[in-house]
Structure 1
């Protein structure tokens, strides 16, 4: 498996510094948080996109994915949501990224069946657009659809290879789902896996990998046993927790921890 980290852990850091961290600490790729406060987002122009892509290529680091904030199950008109997804897909294509991350975001204003149908309809439209650009749109296990079982209800309805799943191991655990069940539900659709660690369900401040309660060893063991050979991406949510320890000083130990888990499960 290849290892990446998300720029959510180093919010606003210049791209050259992000790449320096990746190369210094042995990460193969980076997930880019696509928000206007970051150096790379859908609002940058063609020249800036080409420059960013060239920097990644020159450093030998892959742009794993573009982490957007479109909420495909949210109530309201389809148009604005689809516009957001298309903009993310275009950015991913221009950067040479394989994946775009979207959220469910079903909320409390509609029932589960309506939220499922809304998300499936929008993702079905987005799938064709993404296919033409060589990009895969991944629905993260998050908020209204935090378990693999919930996300798979949508993905099974879409049934398109350019729409898949992003397994966030914290959210499936918070949803009461064991890793073996999450993998079983998501495996037909799995793009990549976000790893992280926390102290518990009532304390989600990010911790160094291995310092908390999340079943990372079990997740890696399931993936290895099933022969899955994709990406593990460390999403350290420092942007939302200013008191969290700075990510740069944790990156090497995090990569070593994941390496041990991979060796133990081999």
Structure 2
């Protein structure tokens, strides 16, 4: 198991600051969120992207993905979504990223939070058509398309339907965000089974659950109700069964959306303590410390 984290936990941070946090926290990988005020963006020059790659690789880190906000089930025209996907794939190749994270993002009825069974067939076909349209380009670039358990398709079984329709088979993989299947009642063994053969890595966070799937209070890893260590064990076994050599456990700390949360180094140390007990860095930040 190797530890990574998303730059979502440090909005606006530059590459050098993210590298410093990784080194201090024992992380070996990064997910870099795309945005005009972030370390990387789709409008950055090729020269700037190449320089960012040199700094990440020079620090001995792996860029496991760039986190786009492309929604493959969106109501935008197919051509526009496909253009966005191709642009993100080309940037990922220059950055040396392993993949491009995308969301399902189907338009669902207000308050439902999830595509209904009837709606899902249409949205699934839309997503698969768009992902299939860029799969050859992704393969040529050596970059994976990574569809996250999120929004309208929160469970492994939801994502698996899209993957089954995408061509060629196996060209799209899944990111298992551990919060979303759990809050919709899908057990970890079920998620792992649904994503069997297609799992790229897991994003970890913790939360206290309320009475409904939308009633979620994020917490420091290990302080909520999600069985993080159990999920890591199940997911790591799934990765090994696929023949993949490395299981990446990535902290997706939602500081950008919830500024009241503790700073990222605190959460990173807590996740490491949960997933890698006895192997945490000596210099762990105390809760409330600056990041």
What is the TM-score of this pair, normalised by structure 1? 0.93
Question: 2 CA distance for matches of 1:13 and 1:226?
Answer: 33
In structure 1, what is the equivalent of residue 287 of structure 2?
Answer: none
Q: Higher helix share goes to which structure?
A: 1
In structure 2, what is the equivalent of residue 88 of structure 1?
Answer: 88
Question: 2 CA distance for matches of 1:216 and 1:261?
Answer: 16
Give CA deviations for 1:228-258 in whole Å, capped at 9, x if unaligned: 3421111001100111111123322322222
Question: 2 CA distance for matches of 1:235 and 1:21?
Answer: 14
Instruction: Give yes or no for the alignment of 1:235 onto 2:244.
Output: no
Secondary structure at 1:198 match in 2: strand
Question: 2 CA distance for matches of 1:76 and 1:53?
Answer: 31
Work out whether residues 10 and 256 of structure 2, in 8 Å CA contact, stay in contact via their aligned partners in 1.
Answer: yes
Instruction: Give yes or no for the alignment of 1:144 onto 2:152.
Output: yes
Report the alpha carbon displacement of residue 217 of structure 1 after superposing the two structures with TM. Answer: 2.1
In structure 1, what is the equivalent of residue 134 of structure 2?
Answer: 126
Report the alpha carbon displacement of residue 70 of structure 1 after superposing the two structures with TM. Answer: 0.4
In structure 2, what is the equivalent of residue 27 of structure 1?
Answer: 27
Residue pairs, 1:15-164, within 5 angstroms: 15-108=15-108, 111-159=119-167, 160-164=169-173
Unpaired segments ≥5 residues, structure 1: none
Instruction: Give yes or no for the alignment of 1:257 onto 2:269.
Output: no
Change (3 A) 1:226 1:132: closer
Residue pairs, 1:190-201, within 5 angstroms: 190-201=199-210
Change (3 A) 1:135 1:227: closer
TM-align CA RMSD? 1.9
Work out whether residues 220 and 261 of structure 1, in 8 Å CA contact, stay in contact via their aligned partners in 2.
Answer: no
Larger deviation, residues 159-168 vs 179-188: 159-168
Secondary structure at 2:43 match in 1: coil
Change (3 A) 1:78 1:227: closer
In structure 1, what is the equivalent of residue 190 of structure 2?
Answer: 181
Question: 1 CA distance for matches of 2:278 and 2:196?
Answer: 20
Question: 2 CA distance for matches of 1:225 and 1:100?
Answer: 23
Question: 2 CA distance for matches of 1:156 and 1:6?
Answer: 28
Work out whether residues 2 and 232 of structure 1, in 8 Å CA contact, stay in contact via their aligned partners in 2.
Answer: yes
Secondary structure at 1:17 match in 2: helix
Aligned length: 263
